[in-house]
Amino acid sequence: MKKTRVVVVITGLAAGGAESMLLKLMQHIDRKRFEITVISLTTAGVIGPRIEALGIPVYAFSMRSGFPSPLKFMQLINKIREIGPDLVHTWMYHADLLGGLAARLAGIRSLAWGIRHSDLSVDKNKQSTLRVVGMCARLSKLLPRAILSCSERAKRIHIEAGYCAEKFSVISNGFDLSQFLPYPKARESVRAELKLNSDVLLVGLLARFHPQKNHEGFIQAAQEVSQALPNVHFVLAGSEVDSTNLHLMSLIEKTGMSMRFHLLGRRDDVPRLMASLDILASTSWGEAFPNVLGEAMACGVPCVVTDVGDSAEIVGDTGRVVAPGDMDGLAHHLIELLGQPSLRDVLGQRGRQRVQDRYEIGAITRQYENFYLRLLESD
């Protein structure tokens, strides 16, 4: 059987939701049917070596932010032409624009864009990013044959921004239930690591430091929870979420409860850390399809989230949802669930089943494979 050659072009391969989903897709895609090459416009980051370890070639073009180097762009065109893929799938705005143009100039007809963001507000995005979004909206009728979104809300928002509605498909993110699962020993080991008693309740926010993630809102809600419940601590993990982040440290110190907060930075043991939590919070202003929710639910951990992207749809009746920015409401639900361990158990079991039914990585990967084959059939 002749393999379908796919080139994935992504903006970068640092630790993030889109990059992690790409890694999961590469781990599970049928390599007997698909021959994959991954191209990063910037660096190989921490995800690139993990993809290469699967035997998948990764090329990093070290493009700088801002105006792209014409030489690098020509090298990108030549690399795509050299690989000669049957189709190109770009991930994230800058890759959609530059990777899409390069694919077309390399003679590739079957091109799909990837949308993985759902908040286009002026105050929470770089002006340069919004300019790229505007260019992509104008080019969406001409450049890609299909546009793949990871969330229904992201699809609607981009259509409202001018993207071609007829080209959209939606495939949710997927989760490996053999990796993320309830693990009672994690509860004990993480508390021992943090030098906490075994009965301490933990609320987590696992997100890189970025205005969209609203760490300030989480700290505000945590302060309210702390005043109501003395036996609760707060775990924050993600890129730049550590003691060297002076802004974050200042916000925490102002609460007068610094000993309740644990800043762990970027972690390589996310399944263990997730399984140790009593509740996961998501305070974001904007998401498309946040991976941390599916990961927490797969671990049997209920989630309290803001209604952004597809968060409410992911959580369903297994957690609690508040309006974006409603940190009083978020704190109220945290207090509610922290005070009811039996309810947390029920919601946690229900959440894992929901991930199994809707977002299991094997089934999601089959959807990607079928999307690729349909794209080629339309050629």
Q: Where are the domains of the chain?
A: 4-174+361-377, 184-358
Q: Which residues in the chain show pLDDT less than 70? A: 123-124, 379
What pLDDT is attached to residue 286?
83
Q: What is the distance between the alpha carbons of residues 44 and 372, in angstroms, rounded to a whole number?
A: 24
Structure tokens at 256: 């007068």
What pLDDT is attached to residue 1?
73
Structure tokens at 288: 């498309």
What pLDDT is attached to residue 379?
64
Q: What is the distance between the alpha carbons of residues 290 and 16, in angstroms, rounded to a whole number?
A: 10
Strands 261-263 and 279-282: unpaired
What pLDDT is attached to residue 72?
95
- Strand, helix or coil at 43? coil
Q: Tell me the helices (H) and strands (E) count for the chain, helix number first.
A: 16, 13
Asked if residues 172 and 247 have their Cβ atoms less than 8 Å apart, the reply is: no
Q: What is the distance between the alpha carbons of residues 197 and 236, in angstroms, rounded to a whole number?
A: 18
Same fold, 4-174+361-377 and 184-358: yes
Phi, psi (deg, nearest 5) at residue 92: 85, 155
| CATH for 4-174+361-377 (3.40.50.2000, 3.10.20.30, 3.30.420.40, 3.30.43.10) | 3.40.50.2000
Q: What is the distance between the alpha carbons of residues 374 and 31, in angstroms, rounded to a whole number?
A: 18
Rg (CA), the chain: 21
111: left (phi over 0), alpha (psi -120 to 50) or beta: beta
Q: What is the pTM of this model?
A: 0.89
Structure tokens at 244: 């060297």
- Strand, helix or coil at 320? strand
Task: Return the exposure string of 340-359: e unless at least 16 CB atoms fall within 10 Å of the residue's CB, then b.
Answer: eeeebeebbebbbebbeebb
In CATH, the architecture of 184-358 is 3-Layer(aba) Sandwich (3.40)
What pLDDT is attached to residue 127?
85
